[in-house]
Chain A
C-alpha cells in the first residue's frame, strides 16, 4: 500500500508538471487575489491581514483540491480502481494536496508580507498552526472532492459541501493566528493546538472509515 501511494503521488506530480495550468493557475489566482486586496485595502490592520490571509488560502485550496479527482477521466478512475488499494488512492491524493497547500500558503505568505507589513510576532506558532491547518484542509477537501466529482455541477457542489465542514478547523486556526500577533507562550496556545490537532485526527479517522464506500464503484 505504501509503494502504491508513492507511485500514485509521483504520477500526480508528473501530471501537474506536464499540464502547467494546474498549479500555475492556482498561484496566479493567489497573486491576483493579493493584488486586489492591496488595491482595495491598501495597508491592512493586523486582524484584517490574518483573516484575509486565511480566506485567500481557503478559496485557493478549494480550487486546487477540486481537480484532484475531477481531472482524471472516468475510465481511468475505473482502471485505478482495479489496480490499487483505496487507502493508497486517498492517501496519495491527500499527501499531494498537502504539498500543494504548503506551496500555496508559502506563496500567499510572502505575497502578503510584500503587500502589507507582516504583523506576526511569534512565527513558530503561526507556522505550526499553518502546517496543521494545511494538513486538515487537504484531508477534508480531498475527501469532499471525492464526493463532489460525481455530481453534475462540481465546482458549486465542492463549495457548498466543503465550506460548512471546514469551519470547525478554521476557527481554531484563526484564533491561534490572532494570538500570534502578540508575544504568546506555549501555555496560552496549548489548548487551541490540541483542539486543532484533534480535529485533524478526527477528519483523518473519518476518512479512513468512510473512503472505501466511495471508492467502490
Chain B
C-alpha cells in the first residue's frame, strides 16, 4: 500500500463529504409581484433560501444602477425564509426608459448579501424631475459569518456537481495523456508492459469520460432543461468518447498482439493530439451554454470562490490518483491473464 493510494481515497472521501454537507449561502428564490407601476406603492413578498432573516438587521435595496438604488420604507420579517418589503416606486426614474428592470439586493451580517437580477420590472416611468428617492448607496460587505458555498441563481444546490463533473473530466484528460505517454514509450522501447499500461489507462479514461458525461447530463437537465441539448461542448465530448471506443475496436480487430500494440499505440497518439483542438479550440469559437465556451473562461474568479476551491482542487487530485490506481490494477490483472 503506497501513500498516494491512501491520499487518493482520503481526498475523494473529503470531497464527497464536504461537497455534500457544507450548506449553501443565502439566496433569493421567489419574489412577488414581478411587475410594478411607477408612482405607486409596492409590497414585495420575498422568499429566501437558506436565509436567516430573523437574525436581526436585514437591509434591502432595489438597485437601478451603481449610483441609484431604492430603499424600502419598512422591512417586515415574517420568519427566516419570508420577508415583506414596502417600497414606493417613484414616478421619476434616473434613466430615459419607460420600462426598467431592478435588481433586488438583500444583506444581513450573518448571511452576507444575496442578489436576484431583474427582480422587478417597473413600467410607466418618466424622466427628469426629482430623483432624490433613488439616492441610496448599497452597503454590503462580503463578511458572512457562516462557512458556505455560494448561492447562484439557476444553479442552486446543483453547484455541488462542480466537485464531481468537472474533476472527473479533468482527471480523464490527465489519464488519457498518461495513456498517450505510455504509447510513445512503447513505440520507443517496444516493451509490451508499456502497451498494457497504455490500454489500461485508456480504459479508465473512457470510464471517467462516461461518468463525466452522465454527471454533466444530469446537471444539464436541472439547469439547461434537457439531458441533451446538442450543445457544442456535449457533442465534442461524445466524439471524444467515440474516438476511444474506436481505439478499443482497433485493438480487437488486429490479428496478432504485436501488430495490435504497435498500430493502436500509433492511433492513440494520433487521436489524443487531435482531441485537443476538438475539446479546447472549436467549442470556444462557437456559441454554447457551457462555461468555458464562446470565449468565456470557466475559471473566472467569479465562478469558483475560495470555499469552493477548498473542495474542488482536492477532488481533482483525488480522482487523478484514483484513476492511476484503477489503471495500475487493470494493467496488472491483464499481465496475469496473458
B-binding residues in A (CB < 8 A): 143, 147, 150-153, 157, 160-161, 164-165, 167-168, 171-172, 175, 191-192, 195, 198-199, 202-203, 206, 209-210, 213-214
Contact = CB atoms under 8 A, between A and B. Distances in A.
Given A164-B246, A165-B243, A195-B277, A157 B253 contact: yes
A187 to B, nearest CB: 15
Given A157-B250, A167-B278, A147 B273 contact: no
Interface of B: 187, 239, 242-243, 246, 249-250, 253-255, 259, 262-263, 265-267, 269-271, 273-274, 277-278, 281-282, 285
Contact of A195 (B239, B253, B255, B281): B281
A202 B277 contact: yes
Nearest to A203: B274
Nearest to A205: B273
A75 to B, nearest CB: 16
Provide the main secondary structure of the chain A interface.
Answer: helix
Given A213-B262, A214-B263, A143 B270 contact: yes
A151 B278 contact: no
Nearest to A162: B246
A36 to B, nearest CB: 26
Contacts of A199: 274, 277
15 contacts: A147-B263, A150-B255, A157-B250, A160-B249, A161-B250, A164-B243, A164-B246, A164-B271, A165-B270, A191-B285, A199-B274, A203-B274, A206-B274, A213-B265, A214-B263
Contacts of A151: 250, 253-255
A213 B243 CA distance: 20
Contacts, number: 73
Residue of B249, B262, B266 contacting most chain A CB atoms (<10 Å): B266
Nearest to B282: A171
A152 B242 CA distance: 20
Contacts of B267: 147, 161
B285 A168 contact: no
Contacts of B239: 164, 167
Contacts of A165: 243, 270-271, 274
Given A157-B253, A206-B269, 7 more contacts: A150-B255, A151-B254, A152-B255, A161-B250, A164-B239, A165-B274, A214-B262
Contacts of B270: 143, 165, 206, 210
Contacts of A203: 274
B250 A202 contact: no
Nearest to A157: B253
Nearest to A202: B273
A30 to B, nearest CB: 26
B181 to A, nearest CB: 15
Nearest to B264: A147
Contacts of A191: 285
A157 B249 contact: yes
Residue of A153, A192, A198, A214 contacting most chain B CB atoms (<10 Å): A214
A109 B236 CA distance: 29
Nearest to A195: B281
Contacts of B277: 168, 195, 198-199, 202
A151 B271 CA distance: 18
B29 to A, nearest CB: 39
Given A168-B274, A171-B282, A191-B285, A210 B266 contact: yes
Contact of A202 (B242, B253, B259, B274): B274
A96 to B, nearest CB: 21
B295 to A, nearest CB: 12
Residue of A150, A153, A195, A209 contacting most chain B CB atoms (<10 Å): A150
A173 B267 CA distance: 23
A33 to B, nearest CB: 24
- Which A-B residue pairs are the 9 nearest by beta carbons? A151-B253, A164-B243, A164-B242, A168-B278, A168-B277, A160-B246, A210-B266, A213-B187, A165-B274
B271 to A, nearest CB: 6
A186 to B, nearest CB: 17
